[in-house]
Amino acid sequence: MDSIWIKGGARLKGEIPISGAKNAALTLMPCALLTDEKLTLANLPRLADVDTFSHLLNQLGVSTKVEGVKPGEYGRRMTMRAGDIASTIAPYDMVRKMRASVLVLGPMLARAGEATVSLPGGCAIGDRPIDLHLKALESLGAEIELAAGYVKASAPKGRLSGGDFSFPVVSVGATENALMAAVLATGRTQLFNAAREPEIVDLCNLLVAMGGKITGMGSGHLVIDGVERLHGTTYEVMPDRIEAGSYACAAGITGGSLDLIGARPDDMRATLHALSQCGLILEFHDRGIRVSADGDLKPLALSTSPFPGFATDMQAQFMAMLCRASGDSFLEETIFENRYMHVPELRRMNANVDIHGRSAIVHGVDTMTGATVMATDLRASMSLVLAGLAAEGETEVLRVYHLDRGYERLEEKLSAVGATIERRSAG
Ligand code: EPZ
């Protein structure tokens, strides 16, 4: 297993190109199942999760062709075509590896009238059930049966019928599955308390580009009028707001100045507000956002919530940065029940953090010290990299496959702005 070795201390300066958004790519790719025409996605990030999803689509009968990128360039083009659905089964070994695989459920139901998808099972950051996905699909007439760890779903008479569903809890994935199912259902569907993340808007934009009829994008009330069929198109994946926010924290924790090329301010207002509350200077220009540290980091009180609130996917990265703030910060993780696994590892780097249930108090320290630490999940591993960038001495982050799921060519991007960082292959 690879690890990432870092020698901390450099103030990072320069430009970081922001890649296509992982959490948009993983909901745009299954849209290929909704038509027998070609769907081409541009600006796809080169990530393990994108490759895993591509392999799953292949198993379902989707042909995929990827155009490479030149060295130093980012963003691949992938053309997919689901001429015929060869299989409607998403097996356990695929879903276990990547829970976003459940996002084939809605489109397969919509296109083929049936789907058998493994229940995703547990996850490091929380239980993460898919009950809301299933309830939303049932409101569209799907018949759902749970057997032997699998969801067996079918559309009576082969086609879903529009219906209304109100989400008791905001769920990104359940909203995405419902959207991809409703777009080919007969009649009108209304989703209430739907997720409003920019990745949902990206999905709605793609579905409309494919001929879908959707209004209310960006709001919690989505109205979808089903159509008979969708056509292919070419669509560019939105930039990754979480990657951009993560590198903004790298500027903060190292006392540097980073230009996030391609970052879109409207996708990340809560993150930007927190960064400026922390004392960072933000400059907006036509190529992106420049984030510069200006003296001490100020402590913060932060609570995660669905968009447009402060993103749960930014919590671990902010915690790492706030370890260097001049004072005590208060964090509350309201979305997932176990998203503090980076804390024991940060403590090994001299962080001083107290956890009380879903709340964390981060006592700022003058210095972090390098150590060998273990990545446990995607965003936790980024928080360890951030701490290593600022720590005195050397840090080695093990199990770096977690990072590869969500950060494209991280060591290349960070080396280019002055970090002493390299990937090491273990054996
Ligand atoms: C998406 O996960 C993202 N993943 C997550 O990013 C992100 O943290 C999360 O949304 C919240 O923004 C992708 O887009 C691939 P949810 P998702 O359904 O859809 C509960 C990352 O680091 N819930 O919005 O799985 C759930 O347990 C990843 O990039 C149910 O109870 O999240 C959680 O407490 C991590 N029943 C809350 O809702 C359900 O059926 C929000 O989950 C579904 C969810």
* HEC profile of 111-131: HHCEEEEECCCCECCECCCCH
Q: Name which residue sits closest to atom 41 of ligand 1, judged by CA.
A: 171
Q: Is the CB of 50 under 6 A from ligand 1?
A: no
Q: Is the CB of 308 under 6 A from ligand 1?
A: no
Query: What are the Cα distances from residue 255, in Å, to 14, 137, 283?
Result: 13, 48, 16
Q: Is the CB of 194 under 6 A from ligand 1?
A: no
Q: Give the whole-angstrom CA distance, residue 407 versus residue 415.
A: 14
Query: What are the Cα distances from residue 271, in Å, to 237, 243, 284?
Result: 21, 12, 14
Helix (H) or strand (E) holding 357: none
Q: Which atom of ligand 1 is nearest to the CA of 195?
A: 24
User: What is the distance in A from the centroid of ligand 1 to the CA of 33?
Assistant: 22
Q: Name which residue sits closest to atom 6 of ligand 1, judged by CA.
A: 313
Residue 123 annotated to the active site: yes
Q: Which tokens belong to 396?
A: 């080695």
Q: Which tokens belong to 398?
A: 């093990």
Q: Is the CB of 129 under 6 A from ligand 1?
A: yes
Q: What is the pLDDT of residue 427?
A: 61
Q: Which atom of ligand 1 is nearest to the CA of 406?
A: 29
Q: How many other C-beta atoms are found inside a 10 Å radius of the C-beta of residue 37?
A: 16
Q: Is the CB of 336 under 6 A from ligand 1?
A: yes
Q: Is the CB of 126 under 6 A from ligand 1?
A: yes
Q: Is the CB of 379 under 6 A from ligand 1?
A: yes
User: What is the distance in A from the centroid of ligand 1 to the CA of 300?
Assistant: 25
Residues forming CATH 3.65.10.10 domain(s) in the chain: 2-18+239-425, 22-236
Helix-, strand-, coil-residue percentages of the chain, each rounded to 5: 35, 30, 40
Q: Is the CB of 174 under 6 A from ligand 1?
A: yes
> φ, ψ for residue 282 (rounded to 5)?
-110, 130
Q: Which tokens belong to 47?
A: 């990530």
User: What is the distance in A from the centroid of ligand 1 to the CA of 128?
Assistant: 7
Q: Give the whole-angstrom CA distance, residue 389 versus residue 383.
A: 10
Q: Give the whole-angstrom CA distance, residue 208 versus residue 211.
A: 5
Which numeric CATH code is attached to 22-236?
3.65.10.10
To test ligand 1's pocket by mutation, which of 19, 23, 102 has the most ligand atoms within 8 angstroms of CB?
23
Return the SS3 of 401: helix
User: What is the distance in A from the centroid of ligand 1 to the CA of 336?
Assistant: 8
Q: Which atom of ligand 1 is nearest to the CA of 132?
A: 40
Q: Which residues are annotated as a binding site for phosphoenolpyruvate?
A: 22-23
To test ligand 1's pocket by mutation, which of 119, 335, 336, 377 has the most ligand atoms within 8 angstroms of CB?
335
Q: What is the pLDDT of residue 110?
A: 97
Query: What are the Cα distances from residue 381, in Å, to 105, 121, 195, 211, 421?
Result: 29, 21, 26, 39, 15
To test ligand 1's pocket by mutation, which of 22, 123, 128, 315 has the most ligand atoms within 8 angstroms of CB?
128
* CA 338 to chain CA centroid, nearest Å: 17
Q: How many residues does the chain have?
A: 427
Which numeric CATH code is attached to 2-18+239-425?
3.65.10.10
Q: Is the CB of 406 under 6 A from ligand 1?
A: yes
Q: Name which residue sits closest to atom 20 of ligand 1, judged by CA.
A: 128
pLDDT in 10s for each residue of the chain, 427 residues: 899 999 999 999 999 999 999 999 999 999 999 999 999 999 999 999 999 999 999 999 999 999 977 777 788 999 999 998 999 999 999 899 899 999 999 999 999 999 999 998 778 888 889 999 999 999 999 999 999 999 999 999 899 999 999 999 999 999 999 999 999 999 999 999 999 999 999 999 999 999 999 999 999 999 999 999 999 999 999 999 999 999 999 999 999 999 999 999 999 999 999 999 999 999 999 999 999 998 899 999 999 999 999 999 999 999 999 999 999 999 999 999 999 999 999 999 999 999 999 999 999 999 999 999 999 999 999 999 999 999 999 999 999 999 999 999 999 999 999 999 999 987 6
